Amino acid sequence: MGLLQNITKRMPSSGLPSLDDFSKRKNRITPRLAFFRRRIRLRGNSSISIPLGVVLLFPCIVIILILVLFLRHPSSPGRILMPAGAPPSIRKISEQHDRVFATGCLDPHTQNKGERANAAFVVLARNKELEGVIQSVKSIERHFNRWFHYPYVFLNDGEFNSTFKETVMNYTSAPVEFGQIDPSMWGFPEWTDAKVAKEGIAVQGDAAIMYGGMESYHHMCRFYSGFFYKHKLLEKYEWYWRLEPEIKYFCDITYDPFQYMASANKTYGFTIAVKELKETVPNIFRYASAYKRKNNLQSKGLWEMFIESPPEDPKPLPKDDPKYKPPLPDELRKIEPNAGGVNEVDPETMEGEKYNMCHFWSNFEIARLDWFRSKEYEEFFDMMDRSGGFWMERWGDAPIHSLAAGALLSPSDIHYFRDFGYRHTTIQHCPANAPSRQLPREPFLEKTTSDEKKRREEDEYWESWDPEKENGVGCRCRCDTDIVDVEGKQGSCLAEWVEVAGGWASP
């Protein structure tokens, strides 16, 4: 743009009108436009001159082009500059390995005609979480289980009190079982030195690692990583749907996800994939990678979802570039630190790969139990467990499940429930509603709300659902508006999933 400063504006030289000037006269009818026809010279003494309009127009076009390209780029942070009311459009994901089971609403009364799957909701909870549990049960009953009546299994390391049990049963007409977890599945195993483990946990507390200093949280993560599927009350089931206290569903689920998972030959389903806090799992990847190597496992295409993409090699400079440095002779390369010899090994990498912290967020999961019960998963868990990472670090069950899936499964074994609107704490995924695929909703008047007016209001809230939108897949979704969808947020691993699932199918 420095060029503009060199431009000196000059009036066209005055003098007797030439023939040429006569031919231009008709243009003077519009004097305002004539301003832009004034010619200016590029330098004071230059013989070349251009119309002022062109000089003014050129930088404007450049600026507009830059803005358009910047804002249109899908991964551009500039998207947040877009005015409200023009949210980014929804992109389609390739259906090469996985596709949404139902776009928009189906008729639940037709859908529930068939057989039920051998499946249950699994809820781990404590008595003090009763309120949060009620919220979750109410939500899943309203949006799904009022049509499908899948049973619930509640598990606790302690004993559920009668208030908890009686209250919960009021909120569903489906069968409910309550079970206690015995010490073989909870707490320090006999082969660990509990004193060392407790010290390890204390250190993480001092380091302010999230939940790091909370012993019960470590036990919970280990239970969900390697034991829940072996609990006596789950033995009879083939499938489970994990439910946590204080979650919310936003859309109606008008089909049976277990049956669709079975028909599509799926093993594991998720709604949200995000990045883990690095300090909770510093060494998890080295062990997972070692497991993969020890068993000679080749990636089936999912492992890459969890690998940091290698930085692009910087282009070698041309030899005439002033910054060009010739490569060191071999003898020197061995001495010079960080010059490409052995010293360049990154302590965080394993087999040249680095964990990108992505994982399926396991507070929601619909999965096949026999995968967890398989010899391969069992060996994976055992190797991870023996490393001590559940105590000396704060490994979550989410990265454990995800890295096991990465080592053992392929993208086509995984299902993204993109049509499920779901919220846990401050993260939500909530789809837009599918155009022309909405069906009228039947009221669901909850029996436990005694206040008649409140009961109706609670239901009426769900009667006015969000607008339909191109490429939306939801059925009667009404999303919370205080937070934005995780799909478009930093820390989301949607892009990583899309990459292994076959890429984007729309711009």
Site residues (vs ligand GDP, CB under 6 A): 124-126, 129, 156-157, 216-217, 220, 244-245, 363
Distance of alpha carbon 284 from alpha carbon 276, whole angstroms: 11
Q: How far apart are CA 213 and CA 389, in angstroms?
A: 14
Residue type, 6: N
By a kind-dependent CB cut-off of 5 to 8 A, residue 125 interacts, out of Mn ion, ligand GDP, none, with: ligand GDP
Instruction: Say which of 129, 244, 365, 496 is annotated catalytic.
Output: 365
Taking alpha carbons only, the member of 432, 277, 431, 272 closest to residue 366 is: 272
Q: Is 28 exposed, middle or buried (0-12, 13-18, 19+ CB in 10 A)?
A: exposed
Query: Binding marks (x or -) toward Mn ion, 18..47, rule CB under 5 A?
Result: ------------------------------
CA distances from 360 to 141, 492, 499 (A): 24, 10, 15
Q: Which is nearer to Mn ion, 287 or 364 (CB)?
A: 364
Report the alpha-carbon distance of residue 326 to residue 329 in Å, rounded. Answer: 9
Nearest to ligand GDP by Cβ — which residue? 216
Q: For the CB of residue 220, give the shortest distance to ligand GDP in the complex, in Å.
A: 4
Compare residues 242 and 266 and give the one whose CB is closer to Mn ion.
Answer: 242
Identity of the residue, 396 or 411, whose beta carbon is nearer to Mn ion in the bound complex: 396
CA distances from 79 to 72, 84, 238, 301, 467 (A): 8, 11, 44, 31, 21
| Strand order across the 427-429 sheet | 247-249, 422-424, 427-429
Shortest distance, CB of residue 363 to ligand GDP, whole angstroms? 5
Residues that contact Mn ion, how many (by CB under 5 A): 1
Task: Compute the least distance from the CB of residue 223 to ligand GDP, in Å.
Answer: 8
Report residue 482 as tokens. 């205080």
Would you state the torsion angle of the CA atoms of residues 477, 276, 238, 249, taken in this order, to the nearest 10 degrees? -20
Q: Apex CA 180: angle with CA 175 and CA 183, to 5°?
A: 155
Catalytic residue list contains 365: yes
Report the amino acid identity of residue 281. V
Residues pairing with 124 in the sheet: 155
Q: Any contact of residue 397 with Mn ion (CB under 5 A)? A: no
Question: Do residues 306 and 353 make contact, with C-beta atoms less than 8 angstroms apart?
Answer: no
Residue number with CB closer to ligand GDP (126 or 300): 126
C-beta of 276: minimal distance to ligand GDP in Å? Answer: 11
- For residue 387, the partner it binds in Mn ion, ligand GDP, none, with Cβ less than 5 to 8 A by kind, is none
Alpha-carbon distance 250 to 254, whole Å?
13
105 contacts which partner out of Mn ion, ligand GDP, none, CB within 5 to 8 A by kind?
none
Closest CB 478 distance from Mn ion, rounded Å: 22
- Residues 234-253 binding Mn ion (CB under 5 A) are 244
| 409, interface contact from ligand GDP, Mn ion, none, CB < 5-8 Å by kind | none
Give the whole-angstrom CA distance, residue 477 versus residue 480: 10
- Comparing every residue's Cβ against Mn ion, the nearest one is 244
Q: Least separation, in Å, of the C-beta of 419 and ligand GDP?
A: 23
Instruction: Decide whether 106 or 125 has the Cβ nearer to Mn ion.
Output: 125
Q: Nearer Cβ to ligand GDP, position 172 or 362?
A: 362
Q: Kindly list the catalytic residues.
A: 365
> Which residues contribute to the site for Mn ion (CB under 5 A)?
244
